[in-house]
Structure 1
């Protein structure tokens, strides 16, 4: 089949497209704003997708297209799907989950497990390069254990208990207060109350901003949070794992948390996910050029 294989990775903040030929060589790239219809609105999201795709194609014919989309379930709504019709009529894409794209970015295997920990967390079993089972992914209120939200919340909770105790603050508590813009005064009740009010005023997901502090400080409390996060994530992966590699995806798993997860998954093949567009373009290459398709040379 002639033409290019087009892979698109759609997230809440960016939409990225990658076009490759039958040899795996990159022939075009495109980047635009967020394309998640749930967070960006259907019309705006579809517009960003079109911008990224046009930049990547530059007039090339599309042999096959795979789109990995966070929020893909929104397309079940006819009103949302209608906004994407212009782009989809052009591309005739196969829309998959971001978990499937993440898995494909890290391995050529058709079976295995993908573990994602970014703002939220979820594990999924992959069979035939399709997501067939999940564990977790309930959102911040009901789950997302080991995610950036969860780690940030634990750091803030620890800080509040430390302030309540009246004892000298540890490095983690000091780092949380500094990040919140709340210097410690002589009376710990002042930052205690301000931190509670600040966190409760904001969107809950904003707690994720404290997550990077945890692996960056030398503090037993931080090490405890890291250990508990890694334990929760490894348990999620093992809950759905059957065979094949475990692909780690998401910013949290690129930190010491990920290193600890690897230790807990000793005996399993563990690999890191790469750019989501690579996974999407690889899946599109399989559709376009068959099972012997060359992985994108990125």
Structure 2
């Protein structure tokens, strides 16, 4: 029996795991809740659950290595190693940035860039399958501009502003109230009582589920924008502007590079593919439409596929450095249909 390799993609709201053969065939899949240490109380438990699901029915002694794509290096490594041990696996996994496995899960090219907008948001420049530059990814409180959490916070704020008169009228009042409080919550009363109810419910949800819960409001604002609500359209347009700025920074067109030359020569947008990852950019959202329209004029855009498969591809490449079989396994993995 041949060796098996593990690939894990731990996001803010879900964790996916695949176990693969050295030829790139999927032997097992597992899924669990989020594994971002910033927004999830016990990421190791979800990592373990995803691992156990993918390993079900397989001989764990055959596992020869693994790569975890996670946000936050030091703390994430501790969670990954704990989950690995508790799953009964020998050795220890390699831990890389989640943004890197998004890139390797979409292309077998060694160089390029990636822009992620899901629960969080980050951009990165990749060279020789290593992150050499990044922008944002600072978490819900200090950054993640254009992310699902960013959109959710602004949707809730816009609804509250409209209620007390600080902002323009918007359908987000009723939509956010329904999402947070239940159907018909707005009713005929859009005054102080509704404000208090919304504020209390939002804070309670965040306290209970973590800041990632705010991302559940992202589809609300995106749908309102597609329907033509001006306030929602403004929020989504601003998210697109911020995401495009992040992409330009990591591809050498943004403010960070003005008047300077990056070490190793300037990076030009289009030097390698720009991978768009995260549900807000890979699903048919209004945000994805705006970002693609802007960035597609200067870059070859590639849609992310299976980040966990990208992590597994890195594990195979690490075990078989320079071996053509690893490159072939990588191509097979990114061609697999996502379950």
Task: Give the alignment's TM-score, normalised by structure 2.
Answer: 0.75
Alignment partner of 1:216 out of 191, 212, 223: 223
Say which SS state the counterpart of residue 100 (structure 1) adopts.
Answer: helix
Distance change (3 Å), C-alpha of 1:56 and 1:134: farther
Inter-partner Cα distance in structure 1 for 2:36 and 2:57 = 21
Shift of 1:147: 0.8
Say which SS state the counterpart of residue 143 (structure 1) adopts.
Answer: coil
Mapping of 1:1-298 within 5 angstroms?
A: 3-11=3-11, 14-26=14-26, 28-34=27-33, 36=35, 38=37, 39=40, 41=42, 44=45, 47-48=48-49, 50-52=51-53, 54-55=55-56, 57-58=58-59, 61-74=62-75, 81=81, 84-85=84-85, 90=90, 92-165=92-165, 169-181=169-181, 182-186=185-189, 188-203=191-206, 204-217=211-224, 218=227, 219-241=229-251, 242=267, 243-253=271-281, 254=283, 255-265=285-295, 266-289=297-320, 290-291=323-324, 292-294=327-329, 295=331, 296=333, 297-298=335-336
Inter-partner Cα distance in structure 2 for 1:76 and 1:277 = 16
Inter-partner Cα distance in structure 1 for 2:118 and 2:164 = 30
Inter-partner Cα distance in structure 2 for 1:284 and 1:134 = 22
Inter-partner Cα distance in structure 2 for 1:29 and 1:82 = 21
Inter-partner Cα distance in structure 2 for 1:205 and 1:18 = 24
Say which SS state the counterpart of residue 158 (structure 1) adopts.
Answer: helix
Distance change (3 Å), C-alpha of 1:249 and 1:211: same
Cα deviations by residue, 1:188-241 (Å, 9 ceiling, x for unpaired): 232123223333344244332211111212212111111110110111111111
Q: Aligned Cα RMSD in Å?
A: 3.1
Is the Cα contact below 8 Å between 2:80 and 2:95 reproduced in 1? Answer: no
Inter-partner Cα distance in structure 2 for 1:71 and 1:151 = 22
Shift of 1:149: 1.1
Inter-partner Cα distance in structure 1 for 2:22 and 2:307 = 19
Is the Cα contact below 8 Å between 1:35 and 1:44 reproduced in 2? Answer: no
Is the Cα contact below 8 Å between 2:71 and 2:98 reproduced in 1? Answer: yes
Inter-partner Cα distance in structure 2 for 1:178 and 1:89 = 45
Higher mean alpha-carbon deviation, 12-21 vs 127-136, is at: 12-21
Distance change (3 Å), C-alpha of 1:75 and 1:259: closer
Matched residue count: 296
Shift of 1:114: 1.3
Distance change (3 Å), C-alpha of 1:197 and 1:22: closer
